[in-house]
Amino acid sequence: MSPTTRETRASRNRRLAITEAVRRNLVNEEQPVVGLLDLDGVTDTARELQEAFTFPGVSVLHTFAVKAASLVPVLQHLSRAGIGAEVASPGELAIARAAGVPASHTVLDSPAKTRAELTEALSAGIAINADNPEELARIDLLMDRAATASPIGIRINPQVGAGSIGAMSTATATSKFGIGLRDEGAEDWIVDAYTRRPWLNRLHTHTGSQGVPLDLMAQGVAAVHALAERINRAVGRRQVTVLDIGGGLPVNFASDEVRPTFGDYARTLRNTVPALFDGNYGIVTEFGRSIAAKHGLVLARVEYAKSTGGRAIAVTHAGAQVATRTVFAPDAWPLRVEALNASGALKDGPLVPQDVAGPCCFAGDLIAHERPLPLLKQGDLVALLDTGAYYFSTHFAYNSLPRPSVHGYTTNSDGSLHFTTLRKAQTIKELIVESGG
């Protein structure tokens, strides 16, 4: 399915999903905010990723960055589509294992892996990317105690620069991630580390995600490919056999258009580092947001509508707890907001600049500021689009607001939608227990 066709289908099914969710009373007095995820859309995007990186003689493993949608059923769904898991914490590793993702399709990344976390991964044969020399020394000690089938590499910071969002740029001169390739003596140290450890057989890099242009991402991959070639020449064999090129494809939050595409990125890589696809190296990817974001939405009730100082304000149940990045960094993470009536249909009427506020008890809890929308009123709904990653699945427990339910939907042969619960809403009793009660 082409991206354009997928956009049309996804937009149509989004409208159906909202209407059906309202009809089924999924958003109600007790659950005034819910997440919806188009599982067919996720499958289509996974297939597009696989097709974009299909090259003769090249072995490719695509993994999903679990932090983007840390829900067991989502990982199960992706695993059935042939997508593995990139995990960056003990919790994410547990979620991936609970979802049944094979160890051979799992990659452990984190700058702060504990001994217990490393031991578990080495015992299971899960791939590990060591972040720094001290972690590598820790792995040395663990390797002396027991054999492992884990592929092991080092994370390299190619130090190629930042994109437009500093917090999402991981290849700056002083990034907290990996070993800075351009630091004095670093490249020689890396080559020596591989020479002394025949079991080091991967290299990992990740230039960043949102706001990072494709050519900068490709430059980072090119730097690591050149380093792999140098290592293999130094040891006199093809010791480094796999390049983990990370993920981070930016997402367009301005419209339904999918840009850039995975095909765009693959072509940029071919132009920048053509030898990446000559069959000498296997490839691992770690995309997250770009697989799930466009297929999710947050649906919330408007509890009250008012005017203050001449400003129309719609007070909704979707705020910092489900849209943390947008609330705290609105310029970097703006969201499209749809104004809906109580039945879930798009509202019409004159566009009125209004604030769309969340329920959290601080003044900055705004999803949109002076956004031109049909005037919202009590009982209406708002839909926050493109929130399938890092929004409803990554809850911020401010004001002890409970985690919302998340529902996935697929299309039946007759065009109707089938809903399944991906995560139940957190009850107040569960919240109290979690809070030590």
User: Which three-class secondary structure string do you get for the chain?
Assistant: CCHHHHHHHHHHHHHHHHHHHHHCCCCCCCCCEEEEEEHHHHHHHHHHHHHHCCCCCCCEEEEEEHHHCCCHHHHHHHHHCCCEEEECCHHHHHHHHHCCCCHHHEEECCCCCCHHHHHHHHHHCCEEEECCHHHHHHHHHHHHHCCCCCCEEEEEECCCCCCCCHHHECCCCCCCCCEECCCCCHHHHHHHHHHCCCCEEEEECCCECCCCCHHHHHHHHHHHHHHHHHHHHHHCCCCCCEEECCCCCCCCCCCCCCCCCHHHHHHHHHHHCHHHHCCCCEEEEEECHHHHHHHEEEEEEEEEEEEECCEEEEEECCCCCCCHHHHHCCCCCCCCEEEECCCCCECCCCEEEEEEECCCCCCCCEEEEEEEEECCCCCCEEEEECCCCCCCCCCCCHHHCCCCCEEEEEECCCCCEEEEEEECCCCHHHHHHHCCC
Backbone conformation region of residue 436, classed left if phi is above 0, alpha if psi is from -120 to 50, else beta: left
Is 5's pLDDT higher than 80? no
Closest Cα partner for 70 from 407, 422, 436? Answer: 422
Residue pair 400/406 in contact by the 8 Å Cβ criterion: no
Average pLDDT of the segment spanning 242-248? 95
Domains of the chain: 3-37+293-434 (2.40.37.10), 109-287 (3.20.20.10)
385 forms beta bridges with 297
- Cα separation, 204 vs 201, in Å, equals 10
Its pTM stands at: 0.95
pLDDT tens digits along 139-182: 999 999 989 999 999 999 998 877 787 877 777 888 888 999 99
pLDDT tens digits along 211-229: 888 999 999 999 999 999 9
* Residue scoring higher pLDDT (95 or 210): 95
What per-residue confidence (pLDDT) applies to 174?
84
Q: How confident is the model at residue 24 (pLDDT cuts 50, 70, 90)?
A: very high
pLDDT tens digits along 259-311: 999 999 999 999 999 999 999 999 999 999 999 999 999 999 999 999 999 99
Using CA of residue 392, residue 436, residue 93, residue 181, what is the dihedral sign?
Answer: positive
pLDDT tens digits along 390-413: 999 999 999 999 999 999 999 999
